[in-house]
Amino acid sequence: MNEDLTRDTPVVHTSGQQHRETAERLTKAIHEGQRTMPEDRPLLVCKPNKIESWRVFKIMSEFVEGFDVISRCGLAASFFGSARASFEDEVYKDATELAGRLAKKGFAVVTGGSAGVMQAANKGAFEAGGTSVGLNINLPDAQTYNPYLTTRFSFDHFFVRKVMLAYASEVYVYFPGGFGTLDEFFEIVTLVQTKKIRKVPIILFGKHYWEPLLAFIAETLYRQHKAINKEDMELYRLVDSVDEAYDYIIANVSC
């Protein structure tokens, strides 16, 4: 009877042992992803016909390595905005100044690592002697790193990169940008709205750019269709100057 009980009783692992085993599996997955990844990687379609094992391993490796990068940042501020030089010069100057002031206050500045607003923010942090992080994305039309990074990492998968950006910081600052900037803004607002992440300062910088979108949210989403609650429009703060953004961030970052 004792032999049967021993054979049927599940093995109980200590938390330390579980962590070591998990780390070993993930390490193996990283190496497997790097080893099996084809040089010419096909695009991920909406619903793949088969599971490509190399892609699963590559996704796992990006999560592990990405979390390792952001875990070293400590207090951080994520900056979003256009990769293009198509907005007024003041937009980029403000991003540089705000990032520099936050870096001097001890914030690591995290961006997508490329040009435009991202480069401006990284430049501000770098020149202030702070930590300047770039989480880039590999694209068919190469998106290069800007020269103002102290830490950098590149992803193949947008959704993995978005997770890293969503969990990297204690404050999120959105300058004018395109689809990517809007995508990241609604991602963070939705995560806070649904309590998937704790409430953090979400800054929209530049009234001229953001007011039309906020008017649409207030009039169409809220008043006409009740698709959101009134308090959802309090999840973000619209500012129009570096001083206003900086003061709000310092007063509201809770970590």
CB 75 within 8 A of CB 109: no
Checking DSSP bridges between strand 171-174 and strand 202-205, what pairing results, if any?
parallel
238 domain residue, yes or no: yes
CATH number of the domain where residue 214 is located = 3.40.50.450
- Helix, strand, coil shares of the chain, percent, nearest 5, are 55, 10, 35
User: Is there a domain that residue 44 lies in?
Assistant: no
Checking if the pLDDT of 85 tops 80, the result is yes
Cα torsion 16, 163, 53, 139: sign = negative
**pLDDT tens-place string over residues 22-33:** 667 767 766 766
Q: Residue 91: inside a domain, yes or no?
A: yes
**Quick one: pLDDT band at residue 56, thresholds 50, 70, 90?**
confident
Task: Please give the residue range of the domain that contains residue 79.
Answer: 67-252
pTM attached to this predicted model: 0.80
Q: Does some domain include residue 10?
A: no
Q: Classify residue 165: in a domain, yes or no.
A: yes
Number of domains in the chain: 1
Phi, psi of 153 (to 5 degrees): -155, 145
Tell whether 7 is covered by a domain: no
pLDDT tens digits, 106-118: 999 999 999 999 9
Q: Please, which residues have CB within 8 angstroms of residue 75's CB and are 6 or more apart in sequence?
A: 106, 107, 108, 170, 253, 255
83 and 116 Cβ atoms separated by less than 8 Å: yes
Q: Are 204 and 237 in contact (CB under 8 A)?
A: yes
Residue 12 lies in a domain: no
Strands (E), 75-232: 76-80, 108-111, 132-137, 151-155, 171-174, 202-205
- Range of 63-77, 146-160, 200-214 with top mean pLDDT: 200-214
In the predicted structure, residue 14 carries a pLDDT above the cut 60: no
Provide the token pair at 195: 């309590």
Strand order across the 202-205 sheet: 151-155, 132-137, 108-111, 76-80, 171-174, 202-205, 237-239
